[in-house]
Structure 1
């Protein structure tokens, strides 16, 4: 009986630790955001006015589907078919207020068919020039972090390069710091 008591006493902390470890992993909430830079025949960019401001279309990637399938589905939400999406940037968002990291991947694709429609959860959608995209994404009152605009403009200004980088996202405000400035990780087609 004494041996059984010591075995249970020894195993109890091990079992409790093993049960709590998955919970901590789940609470970390690391995730990927896919952004899609859709380009039409006039070389305009599709921007969406979300609650946080004007941005490229995006989705939180956590469904059981391929990246291409997710991006095709995102394009269809706006009424379009697209060419095969090409990776243009992969950056990390580190947060100064929580111990997680989020990966943001940016893809570019040309529209191959369809007609613009506005999904119900967005205020407005429109095609804009590259210059107008930068202006809209910088408007006062924009609540989205500036890292999205900075990465989008880096891609538009240097479309032949695939970019990496890292942003430190503040708990308040929109200005991010870049512990790892943009760097080339590859060449696009």
Structure 2
């Protein structure tokens, strides 16, 4: 009887050990879940032309939702300043006008383009007006705000001029409050690789 008990015990241990090894091998061979990148998106700019994020591969990207009638609208000046300073160092800003907060971006794409050029001399790429929250949220902002898509974190666009930093591989690396100025050390240091 002891021999049978020992045999059954040994067989059980061997079986458990074998299952554990097979389970470990299965886990090792499964590919890790890869976050999406910004490069999958194509959008329209203020002039109705297609803008392909894949054309920005290898660049650091700051994405910002903008508005023309907001208390933070003067940030356009600082955005343009850092864009001019760093655009030749593989850095780009992409602006998305949005009317989600206090109806502070009521104009058409044409009116927004004129406002940006006349008041702030904006030369960085500006996209067509979109929604950055709610049931009609644009696909780019779904990527930026959902961890299941960006692999970094869930976030909510708090107000106009919230900033999203995308690395040279097209991955979201940081979300910054609307009140963080474009010239803040958190942004300038990131652009400079510090």
- Give the alignment's TM-score, normalised by structure 1: 0.28
Greater helix content: 2
Q: If the length of structure 2 is used for normalisation, what is the TM-score?
A: 0.28
- Larger of the two Rg values belongs to structure: 2
